[in-house]
Structure 1
Amino acid sequence: MPNTHPGTDRGREVRRRLLATAAELIAELGWTAVSTRVLAARAGVRPGLVHYHFANLPALLREAAMTDVRRLLADTETGLDGLDPERAVAEILTALDAYTGHDPASLLMTETFLAATRDPELHRELRAAVHDFRRRVTDLLARHRVPEPAATAAVLLAAFDGIVIHKALDPALDAHRTLPVFRRLIAAATGDETEEDE
């Protein structure tokens, strides 16, 4: 039988497969419905390998979820380089059009936020990741002299999360509808109010 020790190529592949499968199952079944047996069966490994590679199932679920959350935030952050606040908001809202509220990424994020209310370790990791991203947005706003940049960044990010959640109920809540509203808010905050956008 192939060596599945975590330090071997085979072990790393098993670990990667378990993490990817866990993320899929969290979105598909919900956080609390993922069991070691179901996870192992979907990943095509023996159940014992789950605990061989991870301290326990909650640790595996945390790592799977946070790997995807950090990747999503990092991709978004990279896309903000060199943008002014209005363009940054436009880029984020346009990117959010890819999420329906029912897609795997939306469901994974929703499940992770909910699970973080019950799992202190997940709460700590998620809070740190979100705060790091919020600091980046705060810095962008501060460079463009937006008043109260930290509070503004917090409200903007909460609004973006809310849009994704509400899109599960109202699929038409896309960038075409939301961007003019955000433009007016940014213009009011910066004192740069212009003629009504199209």
Structure 2
Amino acid sequence: MTKAYDQTGAGATSAERGRSSRAKLLSAAVELIPEVGWNAVTTRLVASRAQVRPGLVHYHFDSLPALLRAAAATVLDDVLSGPLAALTAAPDPAEGVVAALREMDEYQGDDPASVLVTEAYLAATRDPELHAVMARIVVETRDAIAAWLRRHGTAQPEAAAELVCAFFDGVVLHRALGPVPPAEAYLEPLRRMLAAPTTEGDPR
């Protein structure tokens, strides 16, 4: 019988140890960005939090900014994937947006994930590579929403998808400043905004 080893233990291969170190560095960066701010994260700070040698930062990533970009992409993907899945599983557009908003209850604007994304948005204004990474994720999400709205017959689905994305951003930002209505309060306004066009003569 083959003995099982923890992949980070003595029996781990160099590739497994490398994957573990890389994951620890990403996790450390994800924790540190909202704690100290994007520009205050240093190689030594990340290495210390990850409990690895500082040189491993540049072994696994081209640079500290590359690590921070990877951390931002990881969190942004995670933040958007749950709401998108909830939205596209709903029976109609308005219900879908409300379901996505419920999925976003954990993001109150001042939580670590929300702060990290805000920090990354600001950093992207000065970092073209980060801008490209974040733009790709946001555009892919917006396109997926537009395609789903199109299947449900929503008029001008691309513009409607942009409004839905801006709505999500705005609600999370406003949560950090004060109370906002519960998700269900938006249902009827969303029904009017996202309804399929009526045909001529339809009493609706």
Coarse TM-score class (shorter-chain normalised): 0.7 to 0.9
- Counterpart CA distance in 1 for 2:103 and 2:89 is 17
Q: What is the match of residue 87 of structure 2?
A: 80
- Counterpart CA distance in 2 for 1:191 and 1:104 is 43
Deviations 1:110-141 (A, max 9, x none): 11111111110111111111111111110111
Is 1:8 aligned with 2:15? yes
Closer/same/farther in 2, CA of residues 186 and 117 from structure 1, 3 Å limit:
same
- Counterpart CA distance in 1 for 2:79 and 2:181 is 21
Q: What is the match of residue 135 of structure 1?
A: 143
Is residue 19–residue 64 contact of structure 1 (8 Å, CA) maintained in 2? yes
- Counterpart CA distance in 1 for 2:71 and 2:14 is 19
* Secondary structure in structure 1 of the residue aligned to 2:121: helix
Is 1:97 aligned with 2:110? no
Is 1:55 aligned with 2:68? no
Q: What RMSD over aligned residues (CA atoms) do the two structures have, in Å?
A: 2.4
Q: Identity, % of aligned pairs?
A: 47
Is residue 174–residue 180 contact of structure 2 (8 Å, CA) maintained in 1? no
Deviations 1:56-108 (A, max 9, x none): 10000001110121233233332233421011111111122221111111111
- 66-75 or 116-125, which deviates more: 66-75
Q: What is the match of residue 195 of structure 1?
A: none
* Alignment gaps of 5+ in structure 1: 193-198
* Secondary structure in structure 1 of the residue aligned to 2:177: coil
- Counterpart CA distance in 1 for 2:188 and 2:159 is 21
Per the TM alignment, residue 33 of structure 1 is displaced from its structure 2 partner at its CA by 1.1
* Secondary structure in structure 2 of the residue aligned to 1:89: helix
Q: What is the match of residue 121 of structure 1?
A: 129
Closer/same/farther in 2, CA of residues 82 and 49 from structure 1, 3 Å limit:
closer
- 149-158 or 67-76, which deviates more: 67-76
Q: What is the match of residue 26 of structure 1?
A: 33
* Alignment gaps of 5+ in structure 2: 1-8, 200-204
- Counterpart CA distance in 2 for 1:191 and 1:20 is 50
Is 1:145 aligned with 2:153? yes
Q: Which amino acid aligns with 1:85?
A: P
- Counterpart CA distance in 1 for 2:186 and 2:82 is 22
After the TM superposition, list the runs of 4 or more consecutive aligned residues in structure 1 that deviate by more than 2 angstroms.
Answer: 71-83, 171-174, 176-187, 189-192
Q: Which has the larger radius of gyration?
A: 2
Paired positions, count: 190
Per the TM alignment, residue 191 of structure 1 is displaced from its structure 2 partner at its CA by 5.1
Is 1:168 aligned with 2:141? no
- 76-85 or 45-54, which deviates more: 76-85
- Counterpart CA distance in 2 for 1:173 and 1:108 is 24
Q: Which amino acid aligns with 1:31?
A: W
